[in-house]
Structure 1
């Protein structure tokens, strides 16, 4: 039986899904922001060290803390988008 090689980030997605966060695209963006990399939408471009950093950070948190951090991140992200839309809309 052949063994399955998983991408190192599978554990991150699994941890977020266990916390009830099911949107894979948002999860990828959250992980990239957690690591401090803006503008990345693919975990395949992250180094093993960056992925391990995120794994270590998430392992120290309970599901409730992960969800709270995700919600705070998502709210801030939405606020940034609204501000940008207001800025662009105000320029016309």
Structure 2
């Protein structure tokens, strides 16, 4: 169960990071509220998962999931280009997250 919570917390990290960017410095109310709610849920889930999982592994997986999903969201929205190098590095990051789960 802590892995499920950790994965969901990583998804929420991507939500709050994207909402933070859309808030234009916390000046737009709807993205700002989404940012605050997602940030709170993401941190609470990370803290919960860390009760049973090692801190370093938890944090690395949480950041990895959030980073990959945030980058993919930006690519889908046309805010970033999907270059071969970026795609390869994102796949590598996913591999590292999967590897951390495998050795934990």
TM range (shorter): 0.3 to 0.5
TM normalised by structure 1 equals 0.35
Normalized per residue, the structure richer in helix is 2
The structure with more radius of gyration? 1
TM normalised by structure 2 equals 0.32
